[in-house]
Amino acid sequence: MSVVLACDLGGSSFRAALVDDQGRILAEHAIAGPVLDDHLDRSEVWAEAWWALLLDAAGRLALDAPEVFAGIEGIAICGVTRTQVLLGRDGHEIRPALTWKDARSEGAAGRLRAKLDGHPEAGRINAFHPLARLAWLAEEEGEHLLNLACVLEPKDYLNFRLTGRQASDPVSMARLIASAAPGADGAALAALGLSADILPSILRPCETVGPVAPGLPAPFERLAGVPVFCACNDTWTAVAGLGALRPGYAYNISGTTEVLGVLGHDEAEAEGLITVDWGGLWHLGGPSQNGADTANWLVSLLGQAEAGVGETIDALLAGRRHTQPLIFLPYLQGERVPYWNPNLRGAFLGLSRQHGPTDLAYAVLEGVACLNRVVLERAEAALGSPVGEIRFGGGAAANPAWAQIKADLCGRPVVVGSVKEPGLLGAAMIAWTGLGRFASLEAAQDALVSVARRCEPDPARRAAYDMLYGFFRRSEAALAPISADLAALGRNPVPLHGLVPSVSCPGEHS
């Protein structure tokens, strides 16, 4: 039996599956982790931990389905982006990788924008930009920048460990490639004393990175010579797995974080959105810092995590809702698209004594959907036309109520694919296309993607949700300055917690 090994390196777990050329998953494993070193604005992890997850997941597949594992003809790995793995000249990590959440480069980003004023990339530089991360490294850890030889994304690092070749794709590396392009005063990289040599080889998705090298740890010693194909970041790959890698479609992937974008034939720009050439299609949108993880936070906050997030949210939504809704700003970790502001903070507004867990659950789902609408409106305005539908995938897509809320708030049909993990299907498509089983990714989408359900916007709820959305936007504008002040207080704390009065309170007796 012929299969491919498809892997999806997510923000909180690693998934691996054996997939045949009909898109059927014959064996699958998901492993939690690794644990990130998060504190205030810092978020980092050694990339070696991802390699350990790959070995573990593949090893379990080999143990549970040895005959199927023996039929692997190709490998494709997609993964989280906006994360920099920094390698030295010996191919080893010079420090932990800076993850998609790390915001320590906010100050460095501002100084770099001023320094690069006039360069085409200057306006895109923020705390999550790879060049800002390198500028922070230059300021805080200059010895590491001197030893830097290559910057990879996490999935590229795994391909490097498998094949020995340092390579990436033009979508995942778009911002660093743009930083290496010459402006009026030279390349932006040159401002840090760096050259384009720190970029890996750039391959198109479906091209071969190389064969699995001999002598690797189990179970890959059995796969020496099997081709590894260049996949893309997890968003791009999941969009293919949803069948939305086509003009006129929008996608919404809600995993650990939320990603929404629109695809069109023509290049367009919109404030706060990422414009990237997706190989003949222009993408407008990008990742936020919230999503299904925001629901996880609520469930943990309510002390109900042991029941499972999906089941708990379903139970909460089944309760009685108060007639006065709540507004929730979902900025628990700052925000990327469309604000690129690490200092935004979350909030519930409108709480009264009569509100309960059901009201909080609805507010969280609606708050995330309101942010989806912000991104969608900006993208559609830039492109000049509405999308026909939003393809919805990721863990949150299993919740029909959330899909309907998104449809009602965005005013667009929300279509859920049949596969639970579109990133795995998209990675499998890349491997099978690379092997020549499909003539193109478009042909692979036509053959392998099917729809599970379609949620149409309910006209009866439109006026109420339009009003709620207006309240959401006003709340964002009003609370952003307070968020910035509170974030600054967190970095320079005053002694509030655990204070012991130094004098007796009135009425106390010694």
Q: What is the pLDDT of residue 307?
A: 73
Is residue 61 domain-shared with residue 126, that is, in the same domain? yes
The upper half-sphere exposure of residue 282, i.e. CA atoms within 13 Å in the direction of its Cβ, equals 14
Is residue 31 domain-shared with residue 76, that is, in the same domain? yes
Query: Could you tell me which of 476, 421, 475, 412 has the C-alpha nearest to residue 449?
Result: 421
Query: Do 275 and 124 form a contact (C-beta atoms < 8 A)?
Result: no
Q: What is the pLDDT of residue 498?
A: 59
Domain boundary among 182, 205, 232: 232
Which class for 39: exposed (0-12), middle (13-18), buried (19 or more C-beta within 10 A)? exposed
Is residue 453 domain-shared with residue 316, that is, in the same domain? yes
d(CA 434, CA 92): 29
Q: CB neighbours (10 Å) of residue 22?
A: 8
In a domain, 509, yes or no: no
In a domain, 497, yes or no: no
Is residue 401 domain-shared with residue 287, that is, in the same domain? yes
Is residue 197 domain-shared with residue 276, that is, in the same domain? no
d(CA 65, CA 57): 12
Q: H helices of 116-187, where? A: 130-140, 142-146, 154-163, 174-180
Q: Which residues contact 14 (CB under 8 A, 6 or more apart)?
A: 7, 8, 30, 31, 33, 50, 53, 54, 57
Q: How far is CA 88 from the centre of its chain?
A: 26
Give the tokens for residue 287: 């990742």
Domain boundary among 232, 259, 290: 232
SS3 (DSSP) at 130: helix
Is residue 184 domain-shared with residue 275, that is, in the same domain? no
Is residue 200 domain-shared with residue 249, that is, in the same domain? no
Cα 261 to Cα 150, 169, 392: the distances in Å are: 29, 19, 11
Q: Looking at residue 285, which CATH number applies to its domain?
A: 3.30.420.40
Is residue 336 domain-shared with residue 436, that is, in the same domain? yes
d(CA 47, CA 37): 12
Q: What is the pLDDT of residue 505?
A: 54
In a domain, 348, yes or no: yes
d(CA 169, CA 188): 20
Count the domains in the chain.
Answer: 2
Burial 462-485 (b: 16+ CB within 10 A, else e): eeebeebbeebeebbeebbeebee
3-state SS string for 9-67: ECCCEEEEEEECCCCCEEEEEEEECCCCEEECCEEEECCHHHHHHHHHHHHHHHHHCHH
Q: Which residues contact 175 (CB under 8 A, 6 or more apart)?
A: 121, 124, 129, 130, 131
Give the tokens for residue 175: 């911002």
Q: What is the pLDDT of residue 510?
A: 42
d(CA 6, CA 218): 17
Q: What is the pLDDT of residue 40?
A: 86
Cα 325 to Cα 315, 372, 478: the distances in Å are: 18, 19, 19
SS3 (DSSP) at 275: strand
Cα 217 to Cα 162, 257, 355, 422: the distances in Å are: 10, 32, 55, 28
In a domain, 501, yes or no: no
3-state helix, strand, coil in the chain (%, to 5): 40, 20, 40
Give the tokens for residue 413: 């049909």
Domain boundary among 184, 207, 232: 232
In a domain, 504, yes or no: no
Is residue 332 domain-shared with residue 464, that is, in the same domain? yes
In angstroms and rounded to an integer, the radius of gyration of the C-alpha atoms of the chain is: 23
Q: What is the pLDDT of residue 310?
A: 87
Q: How confident is the prediction along the chain (510 residues), in pLDDT tens digits per residue?
A: 899 999 999 988 999 999 999 999 999 999 999 999 999 899 999 999 999 999 999 999 999 999 999 999 999 999 999 999 999 999 999 999 999 999 999 999 999 999 998 899 999 999 999 999 999 999 999 999 999 999 999 999 999 999 999 999 999 999 999 999 987 678 999 999 999 999 999 999 999 999 999 999 999 999 999 999 999 999 999 999 999 999 999 999 987 788 999 999 999 999 999 999 998 899 999 999 888 889 999 999 999 877 788 899 999 999 999 999 999 999 999 999 999 999 999 999 999 999 999 999 999 999 999 999 999 999 999 999 999 999 999 888 989 999 999 999 999 999 999 999 999 999 999 999 999 999 999 999 999 999 999 999 999 999 999 999 999 999 999 999 999 999 999 888 877 765 555 555 555 544
Is residue 177 domain-shared with residue 308, that is, in the same domain? no
Beta bridge partners of 28: 17
Is residue 101 domain-shared with residue 210, that is, in the same domain? yes
CA terminus-to-terminus distance, the chain: 83
d(CA 231, CA 154): 12
d(CA 463, CA 425): 38
In a domain, 500, yes or no: no
Is residue 263 domain-shared with residue 219, that is, in the same domain? no
**Sign of the four-CA dihedral 127, 130, 136, 140:** positive
Q: What is the span of the domain harbouring residue 75?
A: 3-232
In a domain, 34, yes or no: yes
In a domain, 238, yes or no: no
Q: What is the pLDDT of residue 1?
A: 86
